[in-house]
């Protein structure tokens, strides 16, 4: 009896990573924006300041910063997938 095995190299799907990065980044921005309304959450100001110069507790900051963090996550996720796929030479198989 012969058993054949097939080993496939996993490649990261760049679009999937980009979308996941965008969703995660935008969600993190929204959590930080909501954290502005909690008295002891001053560290969130720095993250929000990366994506908007509007008044931090305003809806404009939420919309503008949400959009830019979404775009940042899209690019960041795609770069992670590219880097992952570029390191396939590290596989020992």
Domain boundaries of the chain, sorted by first residue: 14-86
At 48-62, the pLDDT tens digits run 999 999 999 999 999
What is d(CA 55, CA 53) in angstroms, rounded to the nearest whole number?
7
At 65-83, the pLDDT tens digits run 999 999 999 999 999 999 9
Cβ 26 vs Cβ 69: under 8 Å: yes
At 13-28, the pLDDT tens digits run 999 999 999 999 999 9
Q: Which pLDDT score is estimated for 5? A: 59
Q: Which pLDDT score is estimated for 31? A: 93
């Amino acid at each position: 009896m012969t058993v054949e095995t097939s080993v496939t190299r996993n490649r990261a799907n760049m679009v999937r990573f980009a979308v996941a990065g965008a969703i995660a980044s935008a969600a993190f921005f929204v959590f930080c924006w909501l954290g502005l309304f909690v008295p002891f959450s001053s560290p969130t100001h720095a993250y929000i300041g990366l994506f908007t110069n509007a008044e931090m507790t305003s809806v404009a900051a939420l919309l503008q910063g949400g959009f830019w963090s979404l775009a940042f996550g899209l690019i960041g996720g795609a770069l992670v997938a590219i880097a992952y796929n570029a390191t396939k030479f590290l596989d020992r198989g």
